[in-house]
Copies of this chain bind each other. A is one copy, B any other.
Amino acid sequence: MTSTDLPRRTRQREVIETYLGSVDEFQSAQQVYDGLRTAGTPVSLPTVYRTLASMAEGGDLDILSIDGMASYRQCSPHHHHHLTCRSCGRTIELMEGPVEEWAARVAKQYGFTQISHISEVRGTCPKCQAEES
């Protein structure tokens, strides 16, 4: 029921971890699959899915839904957030902000550990406002 077992250290898990460490953007399972394949260290698609899910469950990855599919990225205490245009999809990365401290504070308040968080702001960018005439 409550297994303390760590996942086995396999070639597949290692290359997936290495790959995620080498990229900075969110990656879909398919993108990871393709990336590993072109890197010459292919891993089957089901295994990519299983490993990503396992890593996310362990708190090692952030999940974000992009365009109808799950995307993953290494957890980092100081990652950035996004400001995305609802109309054209243009994205601006936001580095500063009070979100980190706020997340840490509420987590502590409720006794949660292994915190990660997602903050996405959506709106209409100036260009698309102009085009709406």
A residues in contact (CB < 8 Å) with B: 1-2, 4, 56-57, 59, 62, 64-65, 68, 70, 83, 85-87, 92, 94, 97-99, 102-103, 106-107, 110-126, 129, 131-133
Q: Name the distance in Å between A117's Cβ and chain B's nearest Cβ.
A: 4
Contact of A94 among B68, B98, B106 (CB under 8 A): B106
- Please list the 7 inter-chain residue pairs (A to B) with the smallest Cβ-Cβ separation, ordered nearest first: A65-B65, A112-B123, A111-B126, A115-B123, A98-B98, A117-B121, A119-B119
> Contacts A112-B123, A116-B122 given; 6 further ones with Cβ under 8 A?
A2-B133, A57-B87, A94-B106, A98-B102, A106-B121, A110-B126
Q: What separation, in Å, do the CA atoms of A19 and B2 have in the docked complex?
A: 41
* CB neighbours of A114 from chain B (8 A): 86, 123-124
A–B pairs, 12, beta carbons within 8 Å: A59-B124, A65-B65, A83-B106, A98-B98, A98-B99, A110-B126, A111-B125, A111-B126, A113-B124, A117-B121, A118-B118, A118-B120
Q: Could you tell me if A125 and B102 are in contact, using CB atoms closer than 8 angstroms?
A: no
Q: Name the distance in Å between A37's Cβ and chain B's nearest Cβ.
A: 24
* CB neighbours of A64 from chain B (8 A): 65
Q: Which of A86, A113, A131 has the most CB of B within 10 A?
A: A86
